[in-house]
Amino acid sequence: MAPVTHLLYLHGFRSSPKSFKAQMVAARMRVRHPEATWWCPQLPPSPRAAMQMVAEGIAHWPHAAMGVIGSSLGGYYATHVAETTGCRAVLLNPAVHAARDLARYVGDQVSWHDPSDHFFFDPAYVDELRALEHGPVAQPSNYFAVIAKGDEVLDWREMTGRYPGVRTKLLEASDHALSDFDAHIDEVMAFLGLG
């Protein structure tokens, strides 16, 4: 497959473009692929608003030459983006049952990277997450998943079970944040044709 010319990064719940994985990918793009389009937006708490913003942002991107990387809830969103555009997707410990798992977070929340940044996770957002659910992925070859058995937030068995036939790098340890992402970024970028 041709290299991706437009790359979208979607962060997880309570996260931001300041996450170390997003920063690592941003630095790689800046240094090795300055000609490519790179976008890592701060996603609003509303899943519907987040996906509307993303849809508008990528409306003129060439789907065949586009890729998306999503971490945790961003992986759930990345699946939605890939299923609706047919683009390539890298999923980093992706949320599988986002509506179920985030229902217990309804209420006031604090951002990981900025404790002064508060937001309210509305009960309606759970239904918005449910509306973004997809069945089995249409094109498993478009996906690459990095899943850690040591994830302390999400169950690796649910993650692998959600993506049958998808190329998966199953890590024996690691954690939800993929603190060892520097050991996997080369493979992630190679999958997108961005060595």
User: Residue 81 pLDDT more than 80?
Assistant: yes
Res. 57 pLDDT band, cuts 50 70 90: very high
CATH numbers and ranges of domains, the chain: 6-191 (3.40.50.1820)
Residue 66 bridge partners (DSSP) = 6
Looking at every residue in the chain, the average pLDDT score rounds to: 95
CA angle, corner 18, sides to 125 and 158, nearest 5? 50
Compute the average pLDDT of residues 167-184.
Answer: 95
User: Residue 111 pLDDT more than 90?
Assistant: no
**% of the chain exceeding 90 in pLDDT:** 90
